[in-house]
Amino acid sequence: MIAAGWMSVAASALHVACIFGGPDWYRFFGAGEAMARATERGSPVPAIMTAVIATILAGWAAYAFSAAGTIMRLPLIRTALLAIAIVLLARAALAFVPSAWAPENRTASFMFWSSFACLVMGVVFAVGTWRAWPALRSEPAGTS
């Protein structure tokens, strides 16, 4: 779960870097020309969308670290970890459904690398969750 947590931290940090890096970073990481152009026009939408994704990824990191016992026990940890793994694996599977992608994001490079990253994270979350599952069943210390 430590690896899953650090992967989520890295993904979150890359999303934050895109906000500060501007249009060129959105283009480099494959967010699409529409996102890059909106950023160039000064629209807050790309930054808001990217910040939401970064926040979700940071939350996933917190759940991974909680499951590893490095931070306090978070609520609904088993449900959350299972949901995170499913979301990541489903997102990875979208690489095989080109009609699900916006036309500006249908580059082979973006689809491959983003799906590959989600696949790796999804597998790490799934394996980590499976291994931690028995320990996560019991209530955290100090609760009744």
Cα 101 from Cα 48, distance rounded (Å): 20
Query: pLDDT class for 95, splitting at 50, 70, 90?
Result: confident
Q: What is the rounded CA–CA span in Å between residue 117 and residue 107?
A: 16
Rounded-to-integer distance, Cα 117 and Cα 14, Å = 12
Token pair in block for residue 106 = 């249908």
Q: What is the pLDDT of residues 26-73, one digit of tens each?
A: 988 888 888 999 999 999 999 999 999 999 999 999 999 999 999 999
- 35 class by beta-carbon count within 10 Å (0-12 exposed, 13-18 middle, 19+ buried): buried
Phi and psi (nearest 5°) for 142?
A: 90, 5
Q: Which contacts (CB < 8 Å, 24+ apart) does range 79-82 have?
A: 81/125, 81/128, 81/129, 81/132, 81/136, 82/129
| Contact predicate 68/91, CB 8 Å | no
Count the Cβ atoms, other than its own, within 10 Å of residue 143. Answer: 7
Grouping H, G, I as helix, E, B as strand and the rest as coil, residue 47 is helix
pTM attached to this predicted model: 0.87
Give the model confidence (pLDDT) of 104-119 as tens digits: 555 667 778 889 999 9
